[in-house]
Amino acid sequence: MKALSFDGKLRLRTDVPEPSPSPGWAVVRPRLAGICGTDLQIIEGYRGFRGILGHEFAGIVERCDDPAWAGRRVVGEINIGCGHCEACRAGLERHCLERRVLGIAGHPGCMAEFCALPLANLVAVPDGLGDERAVFVEPLSAACEILEQLPLRGRERAVVLGDGTQGILCAWVLSTVLADVTLVGHHPAKREAARWHHLKTSPGPGREERSADLVVDATGSARGLAEAVDLCRPRGTVVLKTTIAEPFDIDLAPVVRKEITLVGSRCGRFRDGLQMLHDNPDLPLERLVTSRYPLESAGEAFERARQRESLKVLLEIQ
Amino acid sequence: MKALSFDGKLRLRTDVPEPSPSPGWAVVRPRLAGICGTDLQIIEGYRGFRGILGHEFAGIVERCDDPAWAGRRVVGEINIGCGHCEACRAGLERHCLERRVLGIAGHPGCMAEFCALPLANLVAVPDGLGDERAVFVEPLSAACEILEQLPLRGRERAVVLGDGTQGILCAWVLSTVLADVTLVGHHPAKREAARWHHLKTSPGPGREERSADLVVDATGSARGLAEAVDLCRPRGTVVLKTTIAEPFDIDLAPVVRKEITLVGSRCGRFRDGLQMLHDNPDLPLERLVTSRYPLESAGEAFERARQRESLKVLLEIQ
């Protein structure tokens, strides 16, 4: 089958063996896949992943031993837990220490004609939800994770740093529960794409954005955290959504002096992302799609995704 | 008066004018002062402080306009808030953005024949509590701050990294509410000093200390945080008690991957520290005193405090 593989270089291969279905697993035919910041980090060396890339997809179940799933349109949770540790038993496969992660760690990804996932990871896509919205369930669920992690009361003043896809999704998700949310980003076109209901946007943190109760760093850059800590009020909360491939220099003394709570935040539950889409049918996801490329032009698509003015770049697989 | 001053160099001066009492303030005559890691950081350049050092003391009220306080034995909260901002009104002077801090920021410290503090900062020392225990109220309250910040349920498994005074105090405080606490430190004599009730000690994090629910970094060193994050279980909590004068290099990706909550923690309320001393009269504070020096030998005392095998070094002021 065709697959986009990374072996130190990005390569479109045509000789990759198709996955064969194991009991309890499905072979899925992805139709649309999204390029994520993590994919760009991986080809910079993050986590040393080698193999087929991709973890955001909407597709069709091609083969499996459960007739209830065959032929269904699905998205798929990306963490594959061991199934028997404490985390897995608590439904937190995404924190299983032995987990593999679709296209990120130890398991081939979805930028291929076929990929394999446990049936337990599949989530059916409702009929009214097109592939071009469903492909956002993974990053949207990651944004929803903030709501699962933090006990928000509605009155908090929040600032999201970073106008990339994850920053915008975090700002949208927060603005469903908070009255005062500002997205800070340098790109006028991205700020324009982010406008939704009462969400405010700003080209740079001004006086208004200081002393925020909650600051989300979704800049994807090493300086984002320092800026987030600076904007956060004493005893406030900073959510760290950015993963950086390399260690970086930071002064954490202000975290101690201001007694800030810094919360690392990663993947979320797909049911939360789907619920968010169901409750907010006017969420303007289509504005986040910068471009679509066929899998055959994946090199070009990754180049496009890497440009600073790009938001989500999608790959059409078949 | 005599005072230990830092102007880029540590100097015992004899020509410092005595503080004069303002309305609502007290002039205090410290009898015993403790040298803290922060003092050592300050003479390494932390926060650019210049002036009289010291913020841990037990002393006598020498002069004030309230006869109820005159002549009383006291300790003193070290943060002097503006008195009218939101933080001050909430009793959080230690987070007032305009605050001065005794011997740390904008206000002369207690390593002098006299120092000045607002009456509101004074806390009377109960008769049964000697100066050599009362002088620990400040660092003990800082350890108690963890209990104020975190909702602990009693079942958490905690590891404290660092066998300095603050590490040991944090371990003792945690072991008053948690059944399973381990202090990790490299110095056999310090670990021996730390033994108290069910608190466990260990020369280095072994298998038993991994996947802890709560890890306190009180190492005072840049590598402590990385080790704390490594030991902490997914979705666990790391308390950062260490302040480092210089920015340092760290890989925060594991904080995101493991969704760790990192909590900066600083000063605590003196009433909590005093309550802890009242409830635990067998807290072996005297084991933490490495040595006592007269103020005149402050240079020697700071040298001693800087040695890795030292715990608390006290200055006898009069």
Task: Average the pLDDT over B186-196 and give the result.
Answer: 97
Q: What burial letters (b/e) apply to A227-255, b meaning 16+ CB within 10 Å?
A: bbbebbbbbbbbbbbbbbbeebebebbbb
Look at residues A237, A227, A234 and name the one whose alpha carbon lies nearest to residue A257: A234
Give the Cα separation of B189 and B171 in Å (integer): 16
| Contact (CB, 8 A) for B315 and B3 | no
Q: Between B164 and A248, name the one with better pLDDT.
A: B164
List, in sequence order, the alpha helices (H) in chain B.
37-42, 86-89, 131-134, 137-149, 165-175, 188-194, 222-231, 253-257, 270-279, 298-306
Measure in Å the smallest separation between the Cα of B41 and chain A Cα atoms: 12
Contact (CB<8Å) A249/B253: no
The pLDDT of residue A207 = 86
Give the Cα separation of B317 and B62 in Å (integer): 14
Structure tokens at A35: 């390029």
Contact (CB<8Å) B261/A262: yes
Q: Is B221 on the interface with A (CB under 8 A)?
A: no
The pLDDT of residue A243 = 77
Measure in Å the smallest separation between the Cα of A95 and chain B Cα atoms: 6
Q: Is A210 on the interface with B (CB under 8 A)?
A: no
Cβ contacts of B242 on chain A, cutoff 8 Å: 256
Task: Average the pLDDT over B168-197 and give the result.
Answer: 98
| Contact (CB, 8 A) for B178 and B158 | yes
Ramachandran assignment for A305, one of left (phi > 0), alpha (psi -120 to 50 degrees), beta (any other):
alpha
A-contacting residues in B 50-109 (Cβ below 8 Å): 87, 92, 95, 97
Measure in Å the smallest separation between the Cα of A70 and chain B Cα atoms: 33
Contact (CB<8Å) B259/A264: yes
- For residue range A93-144, list pLDDT tens digits in order: 999 999 999 999 999 999 999 999 999 999 999 999 999 999 999 999 999 9
* Dihedral Cα B70, B72, B76, B82, nearest 10 deg: -20
Contact (CB<8Å) B92/A261: no
Task: Average the pLDDT over B190-216 and give the result.
Answer: 95
Task: Average the pLDDT over B120-143 and give the result.
Answer: 97
Least confident residue range of A57-61, A84-88, A258-262, B285-289: A84-88
Q: In chain B, whose CA is at the least distance from the CA of A260?
A: B264
Q: Residue B100: what are its φ and ψ, rounded to 5°?
A: -110, 155
In this model, does residue A290 exceed pLDDT 80?
yes
Residue whose structure tokens are 């608590």: A90
The pLDDT of residue B192 = 98
The pLDDT of residue A249 = 86
Measure in Å the smallest separation between the Cα of B296 and chain A Cα atoms: 32
Confidence of residue B21 (pLDDT cuts 50, 70, 90): confident
Query: ipTM of the assembly?
Result: 0.92
Residue A232: beta bridge partners? A212
Cβ contacts of B262 on chain A, cutoff 8 Å: 255, 261-264
Least confident residue range of A58-67, A248-257, B53-62: A248-257
Contact (CB<8Å) B149/A259: yes
Round to the nearest angstrom and report the end-to-end CA distance of chain A: 12
The pLDDT of residue B194 = 98
List, in sequence order, the alpha helices (H) in B188-221.
188-194
Average confidence score pLDDT of chain B: 95
Cβ contacts of B249 on chain A, cutoff 8 Å: 247-249
Average confidence score pLDDT of chain A: 95
In this model, does residue B244 exceed pLDDT 80?
no
Return the percentage of chain B with pLDDT > 70, whole number: 100
Least confident residue range of A65-69, A208-212, B263-267: A208-212
Look at residues A289, A288, A314, A290 and name the one whose alpha carbon lies nearest to residue A183: A288
Cβ contacts of B265 on chain A, cutoff 8 Å: 256, 259
The pLDDT of residue B250 = 86
Task: Average the pLDDT over A271-288 and give the result.
Answer: 97
The pLDDT of residue B83 = 92
Confidence of residue B199 (pLDDT cuts 50, 70, 90): very high
The pLDDT of residue B256 = 94
Give the Cα separation of B306 and B265 in Å (integer): 23
Return the percentage of chain A with pLDDT > 90, whole number: 90
Confidence of residue A47 (pLDDT cuts 50, 70, 90): confident
| Contact (CB, 8 A) for A175 and A291 | no
The pLDDT of residue A199 = 98
- For residue range A30-39, list pLDDT tens digits in order: 999 999 999 9
- For residue range B272-291, list pLDDT tens digits in order: 999 999 999 999 999 999 99
Return the percentage of chain A with pLDDT > 70, whole number: 100
In this model, does residue B248 exceed pLDDT 90?
no
In this model, does residue A283 exceed pLDDT 90?
yes
Task: Average the pLDDT over B35-56 and give the result.
Answer: 93
Side-chain half-sphere of B14: how many Cα atoms within 13 Å? 1
The pLDDT of residue A318 = 80
CB atoms within 10 A of CB A259: 21
Least confident residue range of A37-46, B169-178, B192-201: A37-46
In this model, does residue B115 exceed pLDDT 80?
yes
Q: Please state the pTM of the whole predicted model.
A: 0.94
Confidence of residue B247 (pLDDT cuts 50, 70, 90): confident
Measure in Å the smallest separation between the Cα of B165 and chain A Cα atoms: 18
